[in-house]
Chain A
């Protein structure tokens, strides 16, 4: 199976635009009626996504002996429906339709304590749950600027939507396909200014596929990127993980302390990075088991060979 960056997000933009229009005009209930045909079309046309979904569901289900989870075709359909719902939430968040009342925080006080001292933070996110809902954290008490690192190739489509419906506000999307010294300086400035930098730590790099590390995840070995952890070490700032899950109809945003500052001295570099990657994988698994259907990596996550 191919690397995730090679998988075309076919038709997703027109479908989602249509759904968002319906949502903004008629609300969520009416939207559900339109949701199923769009998702069915996408599901039928995306064999690789279906297979990846079933593979994931089998792995996660093996770690959840007490829960009954559909792991076959029907399971993957439910998984796609869950994905579509999350995209609507994502668009709703961007367009301002999700208000602060819909959001519950876990661990916010600790994070605010850092921010009130003008201490910038690096937040490690993932494609579990809805990272974009974090747009609302830009309005946390005092205004905080949130910088989200995104891969250029994938950000363009999303930016098109963003520009049409959203207001950029105090959120910066920083497009990074390759981490350069100049990018590191830019991010160092953001951190020094007491801002947040968010980076997904569950997708292997677009350009340099050597900078990956294996970790146990849901019972099998998967590859994780080293980049986010290396970046954390360069920025020398506290690191938190960030997960936004939809639970009981509310968006719950979890901030969890990850490190006061990572450091990878040359001689033990690979071993230390490995430990960090595994710690992150463990935390990802912890939240994954809470909301298994909110896993939104629809490609072979456990692909470890160089195909």
Chain B
């Protein structure tokens, strides 16, 4: 779990050009948007696309609770884990 969380933190830093922040500076439980890390809505979009590219995880606007998934690094990691587990079961 921590491995994935750290990977996500690095992805956040890289895809959003957060030069002055390191993996250690991001708390997995901390809110990503508005308060906490203080990312904005553009960052959310950019991050969403970067995550999909890397993990091939689909998020459906109608079915999934996007706000909950993107709440923190921890929620993101658990969503990605559950999705990729499901993907492996479904696909031959």
Residues of A within 8 A of B (CB): 179-186, 188, 208, 211, 230, 234, 264-267, 269
Which of B17, B44, B45 has the most C-beta atoms of chain A within 10 angstroms of its own C-beta? B45
Which of A183, A185, A186 has the most C-beta atoms of chain B within 10 angstroms of its own C-beta? A185
Residues from chain B with a CB closer than 8 A to the CB of A182 are 48, 59-61, 64, 66
* Contact call A208/B41, Cβ cutoff below 8 A: yes
B24 at interface, CB cutoff 8 A: no
Task: Kindly supply a per-residue 1/0 record for chain B positions 13-33, scoring 1 wherever the CB is within 8 Å of any chain A CB and 0 otherwise.
Answer: 000111000000000000000
Residues from chain B with a CB closer than 8 A to the CB of A186 are 61
* Contact call B45/A234, Cβ cutoff below 8 A: yes
Residues from chain A with a CB closer than 8 A to the CB of B16 are 266
Known interface pairs A182-B48, A185-B58, A266-B18; 14 further A-B residue pairs with C-beta atoms within 8 A, sorted by A's residue number:
A180-B45, A180-B61, A181-B45, A181-B47, A181-B66, A182-B59, A182-B61, A185-B52, A188-B49, A188-B52, A211-B41, A234-B49, A264-B42, A266-B16
Residues from chain A with a CB closer than 8 A to the CB of B45 are 179-181, 184, 230, 234
Q: Distance in Å from the Cβ of A202 to the closest Cβ of chain B?
A: 20
Which of A181, A184, A266 has the most C-beta atoms of chain B within 10 angstroms of its own C-beta? A181
Q: Distance in Å from the Cβ of A272 to the closest Cβ of chain B?
A: 12
Q: Is the interface of A mostly helix, strand, loop or mixed?
A: helix
Q: Distance in Å from the Cβ of B8 to the closest Cβ of chain A?
A: 14
Residues from chain B with a CB closer than 8 A to the CB of A188 are 49, 52
* Contact call A180/B42, Cβ cutoff below 8 A: no
Bound form: Cα–Cα A184–B59 in Å: 10
In residues 34-91 of chain B, which contact A (Cβ within 8 Å)? Answer: 41-42, 44-49, 52, 58-61, 64, 66, 70
Taking a contact as CB atoms closer than 8 A, the residue among A179, A266, A269 that contacts B41 in the complex is: A179
* Contact call B61/A266, Cβ cutoff below 8 A: no
Can you list 25 A-B contacts with CB-CB less than 8 angstroms, sorted by A residue number?
A180-B44, A180-B45, A180-B48, A180-B66, A181-B49, A181-B66, A182-B48, A182-B61, A182-B64, A182-B66, A185-B48, A185-B49, A185-B52, A185-B58, A185-B59, A188-B49, A208-B41, A211-B41, A230-B42, A234-B45, A234-B49, A266-B16, A266-B17, A267-B17, A269-B42
